[in-house]
Amino acid sequence: MQTETVLGMTKPAIAPTGGAGEAAGDPSVNGRVLDRLLGMAHRYRSEGNLRQAMEMYWNVLENHPGTAQAEGACVSLLDQADAYERDGARHVARAVYERLL
């Protein structure tokens, strides 16, 4: 099944399957996309691209509150702030802690 867009182009029609904020393990499209975004942020972090990782964590946390993925992003931000603090970058850690309040 296809639907027509404003510009006359067609795209596959996707039936609604649920909304953001549902429990972890929910097969909804939004939940799956949030899982992928969070996974991508984790990969950026493991590769040492901390700026990209933190940007994605903040995006998930601030734009999708109440979801399991937002909770995971918060935990990851706290872990990263702790690492900054241990490495002597207290000003960066403080900025993260204050933004989380």
- Listed in sequence order, the DSSP H helices in the chain are 29-46, 50-63, 68-86, 90-100
pLDDT tens per residue across span 6-28: 444 444 443 333 444 444 555 68
pLDDT for position 90: 98
What integer is the mean pLDDT of 20-39?
77
Q: Is residue 35 part of a domain?
A: yes
3-class DSSP state for residue 11? Answer: strand
Q: End-to-end distance of the chain based on CA atoms, in angstroms?
A: 46
Q: Is residue 45 part of a domain?
A: yes
Alpha carbon distance 75, 90 (integer Å)? 18
Q: Is residue 84 part of a domain?
A: yes
Find, among 68, 66, 59, the residue nearest to 37 by Cα. 59
Q: Is residue 70 part of a domain?
A: yes
Q: Can you give the CATH number for the domain in which 48 is found?
A: 1.25.40
Length of the chain: 101
pLDDT tens per residue across span 73-101: 999 999 999 999 999 999 999 999 999 99
How many domains is the chain built from?
Answer: 1
Q: Is residue 72 part of a domain?
A: yes
Q: What domain range includes position 51?
A: 24-100
